[in-house]
Amino acid sequence: MLKGNAIELTNIAVGYGDTPILRGVDFKVKVGEFVSILGENGAGKTTLFKSILQILPLMSGKIKIFDREVSNGRDNTWLRSQIGYVPQRHNQGNFPISVFDATLLGRWGSSFSYFKRPSAEDKEITMEILNTVDLSHMLQHDCRRLSGGQTQRLNIARALVRKPKILLLDEPTTHLDAEAQNKLDITIASIRKQYDLSILMISHNQSHALKLSNRVVHLSKGKIHPGLGVAL
């Protein structure tokens, strides 16, 4: 198993246009660690994710993933193979697509693309992941007809299907009822173990964050503040 830091941010500043939302952020997630970020709406939690994903360019500072600098934007293909991202997405839009296809397409660019069709291995991995998130009985189901909990488990499957080592979760349990939330928590805990994941999760619910993670930090006024540490 890898050692050291999965994610390492050194003095980063990032924002939209010329206005920085985050400034002077230093932050680490160790390999295998599960860290939750709490913070007010608009504190910059999603912005932090977008900077790690290289969707937003850095104004200054450095980002390392498994000790490899990625903030120059040149290693995006490698970066995509390391990080799975589950954005906030509570409905599946209006487009008809099957659960299997929606998940399989998450592997685009890793083993198939324009003129290369998905292989038997791609389909096997898709099946395995859908099995893990308990959606294997709904392969041909239209995504538009999924419940909130099923939608989130599908979103996780779509991120996991690339077999990443890091998972970024953006408020995965928001808008779910207690039962669906519990089921999702169990899924998250089990995939973490099964795939040796390092996880960074944005949450708005302190007790939920404490329940799942090793460590909770707070993001406010564009900076990260250490929060409660929990030994699991």
Partner 1 sequence: MSIIEFLQVPIFQRALFAAILAGGTMSLLGIVIVVFNMTTIRFALMHFGLLGGAIGLALGANPLTAAIAAIAIGSLLFGPLSDKLKLDTGLIGAFFMTGSIALAFLLFYKAGVPALDVFSLFTGSILTLSRNDLLFITVLGTVVVLTFVILYKEIQLIFYDSEQAEWLGVPAKRIRNGLLFLTGLSIGVAMKIVGALLIDALILLSAMAAMRLAKNFKQLILLTSLFGMVTTTGGLLLSMVLDLPTGATITLTGVLILLFSTFIQK
- For 147, the token pair is 């419940």
Kindly indicate which of the ranges 13-21, 137-145, 163-171, 174-182 contains the residues binding partner 1, using the contact rule CB under 8 A: 137-145
Rounded to the nearest 10 degrees, how much is the dihedral formed by the CA atoms of 155, 22, 39, 230? 80
Task: Report d(CA 104, CA 143) in Å as an integer.
Answer: 13
101 binds partner 1 (CB under 8 A): yes
Q: Between 161 and 199, name the residue whose CB sits nearer to partner 1.
A: 161
Cβ atoms 39, 98 nearer than 8 A:
no
Q: Between 32 and 87, name the residue whose CB sits nearer to partner 1.
A: 87
| Secondary element (H or E) of residue 156 | helix 148-160
Amino acid 99 reads V
Closest separation in Å from C-beta 81 to partner 1:
11
53 binds partner 1 (CB under 8 A): yes
Closest separation in Å from C-beta 95 to partner 1:
5
Closest separation in Å from C-beta 171 to partner 1:
15
Kindly indicate which of the ranges 63-71, 98-106, 168-176, 190-198 contains the residues binding partner 1, using the contact rule CB under 8 A: 98-106
Q: Out of 13, 59, 105, 189, name the contact with partner 1 by CB under 8 A.
A: 105
Instruction: Tell me the angle at which helices 148-160 and 178-194 cross, rounded to the nearest 10 degrees.
Output: 20
- For 219, the token pair is 């993001």
Task: Report d(CA 136, CA 10) in Å as an integer.
Answer: 41
Q: Out of 11, 72, 76, 147, name the contact with partner 1 by CB under 8 A.
A: 76
55 binds partner 1 (CB under 8 A): yes
